[in-house]
Amino acid sequence: MPAIELKQKHHCFAGEQRFYCHDADSLQCEMKFGVYMPEKALKGQDCAAIIYLAGLTCTEETFAIKAHAQYVANALDLILIMPDTSPRGEDVMDDAQWDLGQGAGFYLNAIQPLWSKHYQMQTYIVEELYQLIIDNFPIATDRDVKPKIGMMGHSMGGHGALSLAFKFPEKFQSVSAFAPICAPSICPWGEKAFSHYLGANQQDWFAHDSTHLIIKHGKQFDEILVDQGLDDQFYSQLNPEKLQQACDQVGQSLTLRFHEGFDHGYYFIQSFVEDHLRHHAQQLDVI
């Protein structure tokens, strides 16, 4: 496994916000990711971890700077892992539009020739980055020696969190999302990304659509938490009702909360991030 290089570190509450880079084999480019180490982890003691997947146009810095999550993470002894949203670099395929290409990896493995060399974000998150976390940070385990790692995300990253958690429930013990793209197969963002990365066969799309995955795999988690603002300017793209229907169909418990006055941005995330971190702490059995 390639080594990771510490590029920055900042004292933050009683912990430390760090940023790393490494050569990612799965993406064939350099990748960056952020890590918040609570005080307990800095002392070398094992902690549960949460991988946060950011949305369109975001980077490994977005959640660290905008979500104001570190105070609660330190209090709950949670390590926060914040990967970039796509492969990047001069030789990495891109698009002039903001919702495709660099900054818009959609957390899947592309199969179309123009994109497949670098856009292998599913493999990167659930295999390469996952193993880097275990190898380099003090991650707690349960009685079955299963790493205590949860998954959360926002918008495109909410799609990533839900879809990857249901595809790989053996790797993630908890999941939550803010304003996720719940049914990407039937919204413009998803249709655009899926047609470019995966091609025209909609059966390939369904393999990355959370509503289809939930129906296919059935109940996998004790509880899922999703928050959605009712003043979200992208509400028509998100389809939270489809998520509720899929969960109801298979008996998957879902707490889907709607909030008057909140939009799609990080002020919304700031307002409810403590609830999400406490949700993960409970699911990961650390509080």
Catalytic amino acids?
155, 232, 264
- CB–CB of 42/60 below 8 Å? no
Question: Between vectors from CA 241 to CA 237 and to CA 246, what angle results, nearest 5°?
Answer: 115
Tell me the helix, strand and coil percentages in the chain, rounded to 5.
40, 25, 40
- CB–CB of 107/159 below 8 Å? yes
Residue 261 zone, left/alpha/beta (φ > 0; ψ -120 to 50; rest): left
Quote the CA–CA distance of 77 and 281 in Å, as a whole number.
9
Quote the CA–CA distance of 271 and 234 in Å, as a whole number.
18
> What is the pairing mode between strands 5-12 and 149-154?
unpaired
- CB–CB of 15/41 below 8 Å? yes
User: Which residues partner with 70 through β-bridges?
Assistant: none
User: How many Cβ atoms from other residues are within 10 Å of residue 130's Cβ?
Assistant: 22
Question: What type of residue sits at position 272?
Answer: F
> What is the pairing mode between strands 5-12 and 15-24?
antiparallel
Residues 6+ apart with CB under 8 A from 261: 229, 230, 231
Quote the CA–CA distance of 213 and 164 in Å, as a whole number.
9
For 109, phi and psi rounded to 5 degrees? Answer: -100, 110
- CB–CB of 229/259 below 8 Å? yes
